[in-house]
């Protein structure tokens, strides 16, 4: 009734600073890819905790892992003291890293992805004795002082003064709107070349960076996969110059891209790999894996109270087991291909879909102004208002999807990795309803 609605509105205004403003519902229950609100309306969740809920909501193996810990007398909090559960979790993660487990060390960090990126920056600075960090346009690494400084989105940074100095941005290979005005492979290679020249010039004057940080598939930046050849070049060049390469796998990692890490396809081995979101199986956790020879930290050099939540280790282990042993990784490829094929079909019918991008179950559609003037690559102008309207229409049609990218004009799909083909069809049907509503 109206009073209930008004109460709820004021509740949202007072405690809801972000997502609830776009999705004003109160969630009563959740299962798999589905949410049900207090009014009984069901939504398909293509946000899934910003990619955190790899197995969806309340997966039986996650619930049972939590119950087992609660019934076992294991401590729930240990700072970073070891338990058999932590040993098992660390062993499992180390064996999923490229090369040999012995080549790596793990640093458990605070609960968020930003915490782990901060740790990576600190370690890179300590190892190299240098300060500058190179990041990429459109990159997203967190909202803390240091990680926001390395985030390539001016909107979030402009009100904050005195961010971490010495962060330099290079253009990311965003082929649809290549910053060099060259499309496809040519543009991507030109950007790799530019990056290489920049670092070569560094030798002749500019301060040499400590680290380069990047996402193999930009998530918040608008679902932009980096081409394999570009990643390889970045790895070669950073190695040649003794610059630490940090791969931020917070969103794209842990099976979402169709492979365990989003960089796997390129065969590169980074110096540091940052993990959060799905690695904790839906509970807060973050960590940095770094090559053993970078282990210069003295005991106590990077401490903190909440370092490795025991429950998250149990839910993380259950999630890793499902992804790597129980067919969830294969499902990402099957459901991902079906969803991408369906999005490409919708692109044939709706001119406002400028590009369909992404891999596995990390997909996005860039919404453009179909009546606008194409640029020299043939790409149409951004359509931020239409993207907002489309997101709203999706919500009304029972589909929750977040926007990202330049001017917020990319609608992103990050469903649970357990998504069924029937759910793929339901996403597409709801999206089609929404597209029809906003373009008619």
Positions that interact with ligand PMP (CB under 6 A): 50, 112-114, 117, 140-142, 215, 219-220, 248, 250-251, 276
d(CA 347, CA 373): 18
The helix/strand/coil state of 318 is: helix
* Closest residue by beta carbon to ligand PMP: 113
For the bound state, the minimum distance from the C-beta of residue 305 to ligand PMP, rounded and expressed in Å, comes to 17
Choice between 117 and 409, CB closer to ligand PMP: 117
- Least gap, CB of 217 to ligand PMP (angstroms): 9
Distances (CA, A) of 324 to 66, 167, 272, 384: 20, 36, 21, 38
Contact 89, 69 (CB under 8 A): no
Sign of torsion over alpha carbons 399, 155, 227, 435: positive
> Closest separation between CB of residue 431 and ligand PMP, Å?
22
CB of 251 to ligand PMP, least distance (A): 3
CB of 270 to ligand PMP, least distance (A): 14
The number of angstroms, rounded, from the C-alpha of 213 to the middle of its chain's C-alpha atoms is 14
Cβ proximity to ligand PMP, 251 vs 331, nearer residue: 251
Smallest separation, CB 244 to ligand PMP (Å):
17
Q: Are strands 217-218 and 211-214 parallel, antiparallel or unpaired?
A: unpaired
410 within 8 A of 404, measured Cβ to Cβ: yes
Choose between 136 and 140: whose C-beta lies nearer to ligand PMP. Answer: 140
Which CB atom, from 111 or from 342, has the smaller least distance to ligand PMP? 111
If the CB atoms of residues 153 and 420 are measured against ligand PMP, the closer one turns out to be 153
- Least distance CB 28 / ligand PMP (angstroms): 25
Q: Kindly give, in sequence order, each residue whose CB lies less than 8 Å from that of residue 206, ignoring residues fewer than 6 positions away.
A: none
Nearer to ligand PMP, 257 or 276 (CB): 276
Give the shortest CB-389-to-ligand PMP separation in angstroms: 24
Q: Which residue lies nearer to ligand PMP by CB, 113 or 336?
A: 113
Q: Looking at beta carbons only, is 132 or 219 nearer to ligand PMP?
A: 219
Whole-number Cα distances in Å, 135 to 213, 248, 261, 268: 5, 11, 19, 18
Give the shortest CB-143-to-ligand PMP separation in angstroms. 6
- With respect to ligand PMP, which residue has the nearer C-beta, 175 or 275? 275
Specify the long-range contacts of residues 181-189, CB closer than 8 Å, at least 24 apart: 181/375, 181/376, 181/377, 182/377, 183/377, 183/378, 185/227, 185/229, 188/227, 188/229, 188/230, 189/229, 189/230, 189/233
DSSP-assigned beta bridge partners for residue 410: 366, 404
220: number of CA atoms within 13 Å, CB side? 20
Cα separation, 265 vs 251, whole angstroms: 16
């Amino acid at each position: 009734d109206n009073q209930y609605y008004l109460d709820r509105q004021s509740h949202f205004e007072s405690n809801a600073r972000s997502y609830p403003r776009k999705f004003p519902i109160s969630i009563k229950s959740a299962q798999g890819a589905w949410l049900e609100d207090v009014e009984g309306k069901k939504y398909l969740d293509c946000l899934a905790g910003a990619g955190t809920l790899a197995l969806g909501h309340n997966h039986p193996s996650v619930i049972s892992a939590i119950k087992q810990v609660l019934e076992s007398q294991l401590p729930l909090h240990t700072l970073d003291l070891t338990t058999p559960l932590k040993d098992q979790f660390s062993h499992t993660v180390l064996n999923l890293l490229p090369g040999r487990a012995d080549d790596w060390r793990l640093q458990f960090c605070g609960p968020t992805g930003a915490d782990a990126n901060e740790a990576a920056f600190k370690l890179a600075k300590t190892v190299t004795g240098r300060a500058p960090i190179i990041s990429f346009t459109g990159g997203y690494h967190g909202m803390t002082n240091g990680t926001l400084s390395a985030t390539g989105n001016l909107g979030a940074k402009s009100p904050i003064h005195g961010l971490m100095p010495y962060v330099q941005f290079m253009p990311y290979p965003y082929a649809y709107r290549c910053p060099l005005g060259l499309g496809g492979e040519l543009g991507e290679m030109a950007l790799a070349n530019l990056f290489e020249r920049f670092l070569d010039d560094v030798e002749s004057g500019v301060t040499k960076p400590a680290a380069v940080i990047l996402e193999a598939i930009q998530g918040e930046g608008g679902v932009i996969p980096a081409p394999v050849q570009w990643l390889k070049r970045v790895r070669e060049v950073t190695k040649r110059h003794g610059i630490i390469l940090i791969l931020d796998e917070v969103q794209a990692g842990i099976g979402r891209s169709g492979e365990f890490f989003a960089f796997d396809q390129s065969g590169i081995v980074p110096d540091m790999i940052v993990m959060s979101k799905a690695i904790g199986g839906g509970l807060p956790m973050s960590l940095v894996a770094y090559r053993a020879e970078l282990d210069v930290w003295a005991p106590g050099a990077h401490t903190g109270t909440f370092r490795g939540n025991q429950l998250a280790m149990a839910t993380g282990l259950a999630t890793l087991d499902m992804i790597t042993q129980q067919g969830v990784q294969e499902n990402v490829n099957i459901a991902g291909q079906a969803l991408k094929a369906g999005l490409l079909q919708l692109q044939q019918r709706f001119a406002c879909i400028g590009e369909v991008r992404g891999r596995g179950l990390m997909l996005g559609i860039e919404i453009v102004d179909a009546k606008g003037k194409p640029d020299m690559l043939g790409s149409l102008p951004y359509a931020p208002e239409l993207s907002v309207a489309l997101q709203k229409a999706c919500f009304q049609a029972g589909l929750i999807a977040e926007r990202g990218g330049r001017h917020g004009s990319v609608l992103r799909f990050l469903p649970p990795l357990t998504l069924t083909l029937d759910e793929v069809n339901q996403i597409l049907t709801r999206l089609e309803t929404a597209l029809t509503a906003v373009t008619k």
